[in-house]
Amino acid sequence: MTDIRAMMKDKKRIVIKIGSSSLQHEQTGDLDYTKLDVLVRELCDLRNRGKDVVLVTSGAVAVGRKAVMMQDIEKDNSTAVKQACAAIGQARLMMIYQKIFAEYNQVAAQILMTKNTIIDNLNRFNAQNTFEELFKLGVVPIVNENDTIATYELGIGDNDRLSAIVASLIDADMLLLLSDIDGLYTDDPRQNPDAKYIEVVERLTDELMEMGKSTTGSSAGTGGMNTKLQAAKIANNMGVDMVIANSADIKVIHRILAGQNIGTLFLAHREEGFDLPLYVQQMHD
């Protein structure tokens, strides 16, 4: 176990995904600026260590709703309203991120993706080039799905899988999913006190994949354990190690990458012939 975790220190290109609920105050739904500041500081420190870093973050719709006083998601949950709120929220989120990154003398850039970014050869090639140029410039890309134009039928649908797709696209060697759970359990620990924690998954079996289908995500996000396991499948098949860890303490980022035994580690096993564009194309078919 120690040897397996120690290899985290050598990761050079890292994708970090953090969910909506992890960046909001539970009582109000407003952004938690303390957590945002710690998150950005962790990312900037990784950059200062010479690592390429990508942040996949959500929350644009929720921030947009707050901005136009439309907090009650049950009142109007139509696609048009959500997309309008996303357009407002994406701009606000990036403004906040740019300001905090600037405090640590770093530059952030926004990349908005859709399903077509991956399945179209030219779009995929252009996206890869954009990421590579940003890395050369020392910039931290901040990625989200383009909710202003994508719908569930046409889009990727959740940021767990989006982060795995991004990690695969840029040949990352590490994907870290920060969520509201410590890692993978044999059952939902919030409902079953006998659920057992799993430290390392050497290979994703059909049995493990089935375990995730009975769990759901938080009210602020779209991903549950099922989408995290699907993300692990994408990442592992493309040669990317993945860790699921609890975002209650954002500082777990540097602890995990220092080799500490935190979260569930999914070991990569590159599958020859795994076609990422085809997989993305079939996700909602």
pLDDT tens by residue, 96-127: 999 999 999 999 999 999 888 999 999 999 99
Structural domain range at position 187: 2-282
Q: What is the pLDDT of residues 174-221, one digit of tens each?
A: 999 998 889 998 887 778 888 889 999 999 888 888 876 655 444 334
Q: How many domains does the chain have?
A: 1
Burial class, 264, CB count within 10 angstroms (exposed 0-12 / middle 13-18 / buried 19+):
buried
pLDDT tens readout for residues 16-49: 999 878 888 888 878 899 999 999 999 999 999 9
Contact 101, 40 (CB under 8 A): yes
Query: Which regions of the chain does DSSP assign to beta strands (E)?
Result: 13-18, 52-57, 108-113, 140-145, 174-179, 184-185, 197-198, 200-201, 241-246, 264-266
We report the CATH number of the domain holding residue 47 as 3.40.1160.10
Q: Is 266 helix (H, G, I), strand (E, B) or coil?
A: strand
**How far is residue 183's CA from residue 101's CA, in Å, rounded to a whole number?**
28
